[in-house]
């Protein structure tokens, strides 16, 4: 018999405030449906309807209310599939968070003489209450449309607080924007360069260049053909797996691509893969790296980078979109499973996530190790379990190389981890560190260094339920080289390496 207290639990929940141009097209409504199915592992603190370049002079909070009305009819069922310590929020609580943003476009809603909208006031309240937040948790502002609500709140903050206090409050903000959808995004990043701000940068409205379109945009925009599986974002798959039951009826047919805004909160899902404070680590919501380097003093903006992934057709693809679509099967199946939860309050009627335990530790945070280059160590996930007693587990370990790299040519830079299974299930493995010369030397000079690459090993624990669900553990391994071994063969500058060729 399934026991609720054996289900995944979430002792810490990210704070979330959503800005959505809902009803400019169906995708915001689709994303809100999925978001609510994950809302027991997040602290929702705001739902504000805003404008964008596609809907400049109106906002539609009433459509948020319609979705919450549907959610209210299934929340008891959802709670039956949640850990007792992590119930879903009530519909009344969610309704209390729905506000209207400014009913005008972009910077017309931002200025010293412009009154704050209802939504901007709510956001400003959540920002300033951080002063009394004993947990000191950051506030994630997920921007599905324009950002003038955020811009107006930040301007008001800077006018009512000292520069020092404003900076302290901004330091607790985390923004993930689905590209720039009005003219305030660039203003925000220019005016407040210290903000933690994830956003794809590309030509205006050329969304096919953006990382977030990896969620479902390959057919519409034509990138990475043959790589991602188109079946799992098709209208037929959605009708069969998502548009079912009362709450599934709130999920509209897509117009261009489904759920373009969903990567913002997939990035926060506590599945053991992503690390929100580390955009370069990658996860279901994509992978991003610092836009500015070289001592510029501006480090808050994170923009697109690439992963190399073997696609459905067996070819290798290297793109920013691949940082999301590489996980498509897992996150779509996960969505389908949660929609099944909405249909029944009987735990036996649905599948639930495995609980991954590595070296006696569990939870979504990565297991962090320091290991000498060239050494061998053991990882033991045999204590992992599935709360559905009839399910069995499979274990897959692999190195995620891209987060360790500083350059595009990952295979030439990142040391290789060797993984050897020690039992039939593959739950216990022996890991061989790369030698010092492969992970603990400077890139150009090749001088030995004491602290080398940060290597990433991913464990996928997958059950055989219907649909089959995956939980992850990320093992982050700091390569050490206390004896400074393995250096030599480099130069002070690349020109010195080339001198023999030039003679």
Using N-to-C axis directions, what is the helix angle for 148-160 and 118-128, rounded to 10°? 50
The rounded distance, in Å, linking the Cα atoms of 27 and 257 is: 7
The rounded distance, in Å, linking the Cα atoms of 150 and 50 is: 10
pLDDT at 443: 86
Q: Which residue would you say has higher pLDDT here, 292 or 252?
A: 252
Kindly indicate the confidence band of residue 440, based on its pLDDT and cuts at 50, 70 and 90: very high
75 has pLDDT over 70: yes
State the average pLDDT over residues 483-490.
81
**Apex 410 CA angle, 404 and 415, nearest 5:** 60
472 beta partners: 460
- Name the least confident of 163-177, 206-220, 405-419: 405-419
pLDDT at 494: 53
> What is the overall mean pLDDT for the chain?
94
What share of the chain has pLDDT > 90, as a percent? 89
Domain boundaries defined on the chain? 4-204+246-304, 351-502
131 has pLDDT over 50: no
pLDDT digits (tens, 9 = 90+) for 261-270: 999 999 999 9
Fold classification of 4-204+246-304 is Inosine-uridine Nucleoside N-ribohydrolase; Chain A (3.90.245)
pLDDT at 408: 83
Q: How far apart are the first and last CA of the chain?
A: 76
Q: Which of 267, 273, 282, 268 is nearest to 474 (CA)?
A: 273
pLDDT digits (tens, 9 = 90+) for 3-36: 899 999 999 999 999 999 999 999 999 999 999 9
Kindly indicate the confidence band of residue 133, based on its pLDDT and cuts at 50, 70 and 90: low
Omega before 467 within 30 of 0, i.e. cis: yes
244 φ/ψ angles, rounded to the nearest 5 degrees: -125, 145
pLDDT at 3: 85
pLDDT at 297: 47
- Model pTM score: 0.94
295 has pLDDT over 80: no
pLDDT at 426: 97
2 has pLDDT over 80: no
Kindly indicate the confidence band of residue 502, based on its pLDDT and cuts at 50, 70 and 90: very low
Kindly indicate the confidence band of residue 493, based on its pLDDT and cuts at 50, 70 and 90: low
- CATH annotation of 351-502: 2.60.40.10
294 has pLDDT over 60: no
Burial class of residue 10, CB neighbours in 10 A (0-12, 13-18, 19+): middle
pLDDT at 203: 93
Kindly indicate the confidence band of residue 315, based on its pLDDT and cuts at 50, 70 and 90: very high
Q: Which residue would you say has higher pLDDT here, 297 or 37?
A: 37
Q: Which of 352, 329, 354 is nearest to 340 (CA)?
A: 352
Q: Which of 38, 502, 4, 57 is nearest to 269 (CA)?
A: 38
Kindly indicate the confidence band of residue 487, based on its pLDDT and cuts at 50, 70 and 90: confident
pLDDT digits (tens, 9 = 90+) for 385-433: 999 999 999 999 999 999 999 988 898 899 999 999 999 999 999 999 9
pLDDT at 455: 98
Residue 373, token pair as written in the block: 């280059």
């Amino acid at each position: 018999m399934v026991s609720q207290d054996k289900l995944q639990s979430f002792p810490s929940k990210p704070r979330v405030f959503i800005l959505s141009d809902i009803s400019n097209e169906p995708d915001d409504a689709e994303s809100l449906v999925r978001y609510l199915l994950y809302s027991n592992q997040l602290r929702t603190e705001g739902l504000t309807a805003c404008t964008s370049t596609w809907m400049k002079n109106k906002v539609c909070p009433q459509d948020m209310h319609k979705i919450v009305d549907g959610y209210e009819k299934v929340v008891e069922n959802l709670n039956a599939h949640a850990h007792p310590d992590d119930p879903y929020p009530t519909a009344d609580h969610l309704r209390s968070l729905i506000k209207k943003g400014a009913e005008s476009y972009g910077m017309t809603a931002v200025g010293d003489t412009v009154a704050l909208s209802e939504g901007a006031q709510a956001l400003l309240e959540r920002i300033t209450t951080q002063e009394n937040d004993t947990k000191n948790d950051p506030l994630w502002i997920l921007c599905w449309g324009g950002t003038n609500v955020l811009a107006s709140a930040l301007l008001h903050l800077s006018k009512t607080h000292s520069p020092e206090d404003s900076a302290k409050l901004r330091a607790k903000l985390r923004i993930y924007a689905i590209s720039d959808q009005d003219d305030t995004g660039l203003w925000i990043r220019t005016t407040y360069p210290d903000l933690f701000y994830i956003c794809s940068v590309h030509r205006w409205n050329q969304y096919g260049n953006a990382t977030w379109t990896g969620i479902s945009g390959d057919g519409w925009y034509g990138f990475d053909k043959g790589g991602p599986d188109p079946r799992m974002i098709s209208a037929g798959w959605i009708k069969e797996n998502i548009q079912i039951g009362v709450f599934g009826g709130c999920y509209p047919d897509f117009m261009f691509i489904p759920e373009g805004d969903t990567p913002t909160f997939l990035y926060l899902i506590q599945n053991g893969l992503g690390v929100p404070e580390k955009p370069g680590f990658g996860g279901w919501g994509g992978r991003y790296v610092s836009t500015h380097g070289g001592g510029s003093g501006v480090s808050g903006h994170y923009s697109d980078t690439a992963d190399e992934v073997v696609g459905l057709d067996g070819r290798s693809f290297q793109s920013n979109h691949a940082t999301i679509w590489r996980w498509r099967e897992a996150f779509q199946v996960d969505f389908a499973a949660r929609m099944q939860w909405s249909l029944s309050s009987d735990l036996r009627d649905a599948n639930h996530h495995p609980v991954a335990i590595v070296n006696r530790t569990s939870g979504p945070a990565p297991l962090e190790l320091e290991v000498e280059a060239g050494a061998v160590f053991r990882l033991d996930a045999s204590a992992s379990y599935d709360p559905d007693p009839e399910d069995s587990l499979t274990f897959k370990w692999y190195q995620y190389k891209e987060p360790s790299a500083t350059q595009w040519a990952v295979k030439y830079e990142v040391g290789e981890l060797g993984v050897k299974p020690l039992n039939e299930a593959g739950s216990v493995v022996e890991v061989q560190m790369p030698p010092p010369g492969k992970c603990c030397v400077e890139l150009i000079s090749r001088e030995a260094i004491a602290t080398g690459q940060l290597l990433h090993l991913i464990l996928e624990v997958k059950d055989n339920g219907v649909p089959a669900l995956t939980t992850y553990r990320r093992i982050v391994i700091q390569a050490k080289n206390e004896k400074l071994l393995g250096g030599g063969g480099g130069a002070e500058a690349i020109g010195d390496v080339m001198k023999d060729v030039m003679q």
